Homo-oligomer: A and B are copies of this chain.
Amino acid sequence: MSFPVAEEAIQNTTEEVEDIVDPWNVASTSDKGVDYDKLIRRFGSSKISPELIARIESIIKKPVHYFIRRGIFFSHRDLELILNAYEQKKPFFLYTGRGPSSEAMHLGHLIPFIMTKWLQDVFDVPLVIQMTDDEKFLWKDITIEDANRYAYENAKDIIACGFDPTKTFIFSDFDFMAQCPNFYRNICRIQKSVTFNQVKGIFGFTESDCIGKIAFPAIQAAPSVSSSFPFIFGEKLKQEFACLIPCAIDQDPYFRMTRDVAPRLNFPKPALMHSTFFPALQGAKSKMAASDTNSAIFLTDTPKQVKDKVNKHAFSGGKETIEEHRAKGGDCDVDVSYQYLRYFMEDDERLEQIRQDYSSGKLLTGELKKILIEVLQGLVAKHQERRKEITLDVVRQFMTPRQLNFRY
């Protein structure tokens, strides 16, 4: 699993070019990035509508997270069924993941975890987090030892998001495979139900792909099945539990496949909540890559690095001159600083004021960047402080197979 970012800009043509969204590529020809309404239609998922948000709020008796309110988590599959289960006091569990491709994570990688932590707190349910070190070994030019080490390092950043240790199980595929006999068994059940033709259609695999890649989708599918974790559920595992997966929408193909095979295997179909893609500093059309340290704010960046990166690289929706900007205003839809504030400024009113002021030209790009720099410096510093406390012993605690706490 990985939180993806927009691919390098594609040449605009006169024809309408479809956005490319799959687990390894996200590419759009528009400065605004991917057309998410179109993507919902193409993927056949459902929009998180104002009505659905109202229903969630009436059930949890408080406002939804601003990620949902602002359309950062914008799409879903069967979220209603999870709400029904919750209302009927039937437990469910959360599942998300991370592809540990390098030692350092960037801001965008936090999005699914921030959402997931909120869901865990609100619904009081267990959570499993898959570190797909096997996937990263298969797809990238890294050793198993490095991929596995990144899994443990990244787990520290994930734990620093504040997950409840009594309700959260984190696992590396390489290690968990040798810890729980049910995991490989469920993987085989799924692998028996999916043909090469199907993964070719869903993921675009070719005959030149290695057989590890071809078989991998079952490994990302298996954690959506509660019986892969008998120790978590203990005696309560008389039947499979429902599963809700918060993830970036590029991961949807894995779970379309999972939902497709689930009925044949008597597994419940996992429900999903999809997020948009966090843009690169250079804008929604360019690629945010761990290899290009200037394309993203890393969780290891110093305050000065945060400031310099935003000032130098954050794509601006402002006008060429101050005079023109004052007269015509900036374009929030393409302005990366404003977009980043949508993700990380919790205060709705202040954000709306900034939007109005920037759009009207009252707020200049430099001023907007200054606000963002303060927000991000605060966020990154706080993260670093929390992460310092996360020792390898703490990680091992989260990664130990054990029974988790459950509301019902």
Chain A contact residues, CB within 8 Å of chain B: 134, 137-138, 144, 174-175, 177-181, 183-185, 188-189, 191-197, 199-200, 205-212, 214-215, 217-218
Residue from B184, B197, B208 in contact with A197 in the complex, judged by beta carbons closer than 8 Å? B208
Interface of A is mostly: helix
Given the known A-B contacts A177-B178, A178-B179, A189-B144, are A210 and B195 also in contact in the complex, defined by CB atoms under 8 Å? yes
Whether B195 pairs with A207 at a CB distance below 8 angstroms is: yes
Ranked 10 nearest A-B pairs via Cβ: A191-B212, A215-B215, A178-B181, A177-B184, A197-B207, A196-B207, A211-B215, A192-B212, A191-B211, A194-B211
Task: List B contacts of A189 (CB < 8 A).
Answer: 144
Supposing A200-B207, A211-B199, A212-B215 touch, asked if A181 and B177 sit within 8 A by C-beta, the answer is yes
A193 with B210: in contact, given A138-B188, A144-B188, A178-B183 (CB under 8 Å)? Answer: yes
In the complex, the chain B residue whose C-beta lies closest to that of A137 is B188
Q: Which residues of B contact A174 (CB under 8 A)?
A: 181, 184-185, 188
Q: A178-B178, A195-B209 are in contact. List 20 more A-B contacts (CB 8 A).
A: A137-B188, A137-B192, A138-B192, A144-B185, A174-B181, A174-B185, A177-B178, A178-B180, A191-B211, A191-B212, A192-B212, A193-B210, A194-B210, A194-B211, A195-B210, A196-B214, A199-B211, A211-B215, A211-B217, A215-B215
Pairwise interchain contact A188-B218, C-beta atoms closer than 8 A: no
Q: Please list 19 pairs of residues, one from A and one from B, whose beta carbons are closer than 8 Å in the complex, sorted by A's number.
A: A134-B184, A144-B189, A174-B181, A174-B184, A174-B185, A175-B181, A177-B177, A177-B178, A177-B184, A188-B212, A191-B210, A191-B211, A191-B215, A192-B210, A196-B208, A197-B208, A200-B207, A211-B214, A215-B215
Could you say which residues of chain B place their CB within 8 Å of the CB of A195? Answer: 207-211
Number of copies of chain A assembled together: 2
A304 shortest CB reach to chain B, Å = 40
- Cβ-closest chain B residue relative to A147: B188
CA distance A107 to B109 in the complex (A): 58
State in angstroms the CA–CA spacing of A95 and B215 once bound together: 25
Q: Is the CB of B211 within 8 A of A218?
A: yes
CB neighbours (8 Å) of A209 from chain B are 195-196
Inter-chain contacts of A177 with B (CB < 8 A)? 177-178, 181, 184
Minimum Cβ distance to chain B for residue A178 (Å): 4
A250 to chain B, nearest CB (A): 20
A323 to chain B, nearest CB (A): 58
CA distance A124 to B382 in the complex (A): 62
Distance between Cα atoms of A188 and B132 in the complex (Å): 12
Q: Which B residues lie within 8 Å of A194 (CB)? A: 210-211
Q: How far is the CA of A189 from the CA of B148 in the complex (A)?
A: 14
- Cα–Cα, bound, A184→B219 (Å): 12
Considering the chains assembled together, what is the distance between the CA atoms of A181 and B196 in angstroms? 27
| Chain B positions within 8 Å of A205 at CB level | 196
Most chain B Cβ neighbours within 10 Å, of A193, A194, A197, A200: A197
Min Cβ gap A339→B in Å is: 37
Give A184 to B148 CA distance when docked, in angstroms: 13
Query: Which residues of B sit under 8 angstroms from A183, Cβ to Cβ?
Result: 178
Which single residue of chain B is at the shortest CB-CB distance from A196? B207
Q: Which residues of B contact A200 (CB under 8 A)?
A: 207
State A211–B192 Cα separation when bound (angstroms).
Answer: 7
Q: Which of A188, A193, A195 has the most CB of B within 10 A?
A: A188
Chain B's closest residue to A181 (CB) is B178
Closest-by-CB residue of B relative to A212 is: B191
List of B residues within 8 angstroms of A175 by Cβ = 181
How distant is A226 from chain B, measured CB to nearest CB, in Å?
Answer: 17
Q: How far, in angstroms, from A177 to B184 measured CA to CA in the complex?
A: 7
A138 to B214, CA, bound (A): 15
A286 to chain B, nearest CB (A): 30
